[in-house]
Structure 1
Amino acid sequence: MKLSLATRIFLGYAVVLVTFGAVSLFSVAELHRNQLEIRLVSQGYLQLSQDAAALDSFHTNQEKDTERLLEEGNAETRRALIRLARLYVPSLMSERLNDALVRAREVRALAPPGEVPFVQDLESRLGELAHRYPTYGRAAEAVFTVLASESPPADEVARAATELRQQENAIGRDIRFLRAALTNRIRERVDGAEDRERRTGLAIITLSVLAIIVGLVATAWSARTLRPVRTLIEGVSRIGRGDYSAQLGVRGDDEVAVLAREFDAMARSLQAREAQLKAQAEALMRAEQLAAVGRISAQVAHEVRNPLSSIGLNVELMQDAFEHATFDSPEEAREAREILAAVTRQVDRLTEVTEQYLRMARPPRPSLEPTDVTEVLASVLDFSREELERAGVEVVRELSPEPPRALADEGQLRQVFLNLLRNAREAMLGGGRLTIATQVQARDVVVALRDTGRGMTEAVLSRIFEPFFTTKEDGTGLGLAVCQQILQAHGGELSCQSEPGRGTTFFVRLPRA
């Protein structure tokens, strides 16, 4: 019987699935076995070991109480101790032994067949202790009876005490032996589990390798089965490279021919869709360019118009003053100087705004080189020291001992740091503290600039990187947008955290060199 293409491929990969399924079943079985072993140790032997430790501790306390009772010289105190001892000797110890027996029976139900004899031996030892303890109780009661009198005979006390100590020593040896047996068994089971885990790991690795080999063989067989579709593969490769005009033209009624016709239909559909998306992308790009040009032009016109008017008026006044008047008084001289200062300020402001617009519209491509961020920060802080000191800003440097070298354009990075320092200074009008910290991570260098200024609300924080958004009266709203644009061109990012009244922290993240 001739099998179809899908059936042959299915059979090949069914073999792979069965092989990996067998490996998985083996892994699950071993895992279940380990879980049973852990359950036996954690819920069985460890609990019994704790019971044995409690019995040992309780018996040790009983021995100490017996010695204290024998050494007590006051009759009233002895009788009080005897009354107290009769409350829990041997009843409390018998209760604990019964609890241990119940737990041993529960462990026997959990234990595999190989562990049943050991658990039965534990049960027999606990049973012997439970049977021996009434004898110990009678010996203890004999001591209590002798010591309850005002002047107990020394020979009777010695005889009863000797009998009681013999009982206590025998019980103590049995309890310690029981505890040691449990401890050794736990150690043996843990060591065996670790050894079995290592063997299981090697077996799983070996079986996995065999399964991979089977998978490779099945893949090779499937590839051989798919040789008749080479024409289809070549046509699909052309479509994958973007040549949607490729038409396979495979004729026939088999599976390959049906698949080829479907690919021809898909290619025609993709060709039409690509043309549609290309047209839409071009239209969207033109709309974005026009919108950007419109926003920049409107802002430039708004920012430049008033300074130019002021410059023209002040220059005209200055010319009239110099042409028609002499400086006979200090007031006139001061006025001329003020006018000249106003012209200078407006020119500087116009220059700064124009440069920001130009940087936003045509950002220069960064020249990325390994740069020591600490040195750039130091030079920027030295440049801004006088300005920061006049504003009452204290600079705290928490720099990483490891030199933070990043891939950056030093000039553009300096521009980012200057802008952030200026913003921090303006946020602390009455002075404050500016903390600059660097941190070297696995792939990035992070610089944190934390001020103690007035902070920002959530609404403001969500818009600080938008072009032309500003909260300053004379701001352009381009400073942070330009900084973000520069860092994105570096492959980094600029982020911010702020709370009203608690200051602001800017994080500069750069790729590590």
Structure 2
Amino acid sequence: MRWSLSTKVFLSLAAVIFAFGTVGLYSIYRMDQLRSNVELVRKGILPLTSHLGLLHRELKDYEQELSGTTRSDLVRLRSYFHNFSPFVRIESAEKKIASISNDFSLDNTQRGLLKSQYNKLQQLRQGGDLRGGLVTGIKNAVSVVLFEAPEARDNQAVYAALARAFVAFLHEERFEKARQIQNELAYIIRRIRKEVYRSWRASGHFMQGLNQVAATAESQAMLVTSIATGIALLIALAVMVWVNMTLRPLKRLREGVKQAARGEFIAVDVDTGDEIGQLAEEFNRMSQSLKERDIQLKNQRAELLRAERLATIGKMSSQITHEIRNPLSSIGLNTELLEEEIGLLSQNGQMDEARSLLAAIRGEIDRLTGVTEQYLRFARMPKPELNDESMNHILNELVEFMSSQFQIADIAVETTFDGDLPDINVDERQIRQALMNLLVNSIQSMESGGVLKLATCQVNGSIQISISDTGHGIDEETRSKIFEPFFSTKNVGTGLGLTLVQQIVDEHKGSISCESQLGEGTRFLIDLPLS
């Protein structure tokens, strides 16, 4: 299937856009994952870790405060211990963990770690192990407080009951009982601190895991992005090469246009099947048309120059002939009168030499008269008077008329005439003159005798006349000049014989050509249109 140029360009751009679009989408996807991890750390894990770390430091401070047993230490605790609520802070941490699980996209491992951390803190706050460990058979302040608060079942409620009793004993300055509760509160805070520490460490490990995952994802993203970008660049390079190869015929087409501008009309070889190929086909057709038109114009220019040259020659010949003909006529007449006078005066044969000289003068006058007549026929070629004539009949009469010349020159004449040849509209006198000139040339070319072949046939709406001889032939350079006026290879003659033949054929809208090889003879072909 042949694709158009627009389709090729579209597919090329689509391939490049797809390649870089894929890279871009993957980069956006990885950046979104990285952003999600950053959001998880910034808005989730980091606040949780900070909250647990602060709670751990507060628990450690309160644990140290509860280690003091002097009266002044207890008095100082009385002023601010009631504000400390570790289980409220633990519940806040639970909410933060639940918010992280609900608000962020986590994998199963991350969700499991947070769930375990959440359950441990919840168990620390809502479990009932503290009450079971504190309620004993020993009658002390702790047992009394818990006995009086049967509703305090979970650890948070137990701590709250003991903390209220501790603060109350401090305000009542019952320091001995306060010290009994102080030790248990210190134990509870120590236990809470250890669990909070574990949760804080777990949050830190969780955040480190996220950092490692982010670093690994970043490395993978960089690797995949680099590979994808390299592939995209290779695709873009391939597309550039493809487009360059697709548009390469334009260079040949441009060179063809440049050569056409210089007058050199050549065909451009472009077979792409797309718009460039179609443009090249149209250019080749245009180039061929211009080439044919250029040849036609050259031929017309040559014909015009030849016509102008012949017209000039004809005008000059007419003028020269006119200037020579009248004196020759006068000289010829006076020569005849002089011959008669010499004949009358001659009594004893002493005037024979004078008569011989006069005869020679008259012969030269007759020759010059013949030359002037030929010039006049060339210069004053009349328009042909067309009538329907039989070309075979004209040729037969001409052969019969010149039979004595053929016999003298020892030339055998062979005729091959088409019996079905139709009549043709020609000027019989001019055609006869043209054919006679060709026959005379053939006789003169066969000095030692030979064969003269005459043939007629009908070809493509024209009558073709072939006259071939077995003479000495002519070379290529001479053959190119034989129809030029005054050109001749003989020592005698005007050089207008073949020019006159061509002029007659042209007047009949026909054509004449010559084929010849040195030593093999010459063949003239005349084509005359039937219509």
**TM-score category of the 2 structures, normalised to the smaller one:** 0.3 to 0.5
User: Structure 1 length normalisation: TM-score?
Assistant: 0.39
Larger radius of gyration: 2
User: Structure 2 length normalisation: TM-score?
Assistant: 0.38
